[in-house]
Amino acid sequence: MNRYLVRPGQKVDLSKWDPNDTSNFKGGKQEGLEEVVKLNAQLEELQEVLYAEHSHKVLIVLQAMDTGGKDGVIRRVFDGVNPQGVRVASFKVPTDEELDHDYLWRVHKVVPGRGEMVIFNRSHYEDVLVVRVHGIVPPEVWKKRYEQINAFESHLAENGTTILKFFLHIDRDEQKERLQARLDDPTKRWKFRLGDLEERKLWREYAQAYEDALSRTSTDQAPWYIIPANHKWYRDLVIASVLAETLRNLDMKYPKPEEDLDGVVVD
């Protein structure tokens, strides 16, 4: 799955990344869905070892345009993992308290501890995306944040955090279909906001902001993956594959019992 990896220093042009790509899996949708189920089982076991070993920390960052599929990834890729060792952190409009601190303050509070996996549904990258597109702070402020973010993530990595960042890449036509589907389905209308249509008008501005963020903050310690996300099954398959491989490479092991249990029998 390294074909979707953004190499450090690589200049990203999203027009050259196909959101419809499914070429890394030849079996088609049904076989792909079955493969995701198998990967779910692997992830469940790997996460159990992560929690039991209580050594590594895992941070997963999900970013996307509106309707890109962050919630769907959380539901399907992490189906079956033990909630005792997994948290989801969502980042909304900053509160007054959060605005009284630097923009990374609210993020640092919720990073994973030992044995924990944390999924960021949106993240500190909003401060070089929404903030930039809407002119909330001037360019001389947000332009400094790429290096600040790199330094922050480097600090986390050097203190034992494994970081994976996924940009769920859909095209404008797919977004239109998904927004319309929300309007057409009474059970999904609660997800729709009229403001979504105003944000959609800024597609190109957001694309440029993402291109700069992906280009400037993909590092060896905290890499970005650009995930083709028009096909939900393939999106889930790629992310689950990358995550499972990364966790296997941590070479985790269940800890030995604190006491000698040889010969112990439960009556």
Give domain status of residue 206, yes or no: yes
- pTM value > 0.85: yes
Q: Are 120 and 78 in contact (CB under 8 A)?
A: no
70-97 mean pLDDT:
93
Q: Is 106 exposed, middle or buried (0-12, 13-18, 19+ CB in 10 A)?
A: middle
Mean pLDDT of the chain: 95
Give domain status of residue 265, yes or no: no
Q: Which domain holds residue 186?
A: 2-249
Where is 121: in which H helix or E strand? strand 117-121
Give domain status of residue 131, yes or no: yes
Measured CA to CA, the distance from residue 64 to residue 70 in angstroms comes to 7
Measure the CA dihedral 93/97/101/106, to 10°: -60
Give domain status of residue 259, yes or no: no
Q: Are 183 and 189 in contact (CB under 8 A)?
A: yes
Strand order in the sheet with 161-169: 5-6, 224-228, 161-169, 57-64, 117-121, 86-90
Q: Rounded to whole angstroms, what are the CA distances from 152 to 111, 119, 159, 236?
A: 11, 17, 11, 28
Q: In the prediction, which pLDDT does 97 show?
A: 96
Coil, helix or strand for 228?
A: strand
Give domain status of residue 263, yes or no: no
Report the CATH number that the domain containing residue 241 is assigned in CATH: 3.40.50.300
232-242 mean pLDDT:
97
Give domain status of residue 266, yes or no: no
pLDDT, one tens digit per residue, over 20-41 is 999 999 989 999 999 999 999 9
pLDDT, one tens digit per residue, over 90-110 is 999 999 999 999 999 999 999
Q: In the prediction, which pLDDT does 109 show?
A: 96
* Confidence category of residue 72, pLDDT binned at 50, 70, 90: very high
Give domain status of residue 264, yes or no: no
231-237 mean pLDDT:
97
Measured CA to CA, the distance from residue 217 to residue 147 in angstroms comes to 8
Number of structural domains (the chain) is 1
Give domain status of residue 256, yes or no: no
Measured CA to CA, the distance from residue 56 to residue 159 in angstroms comes to 9
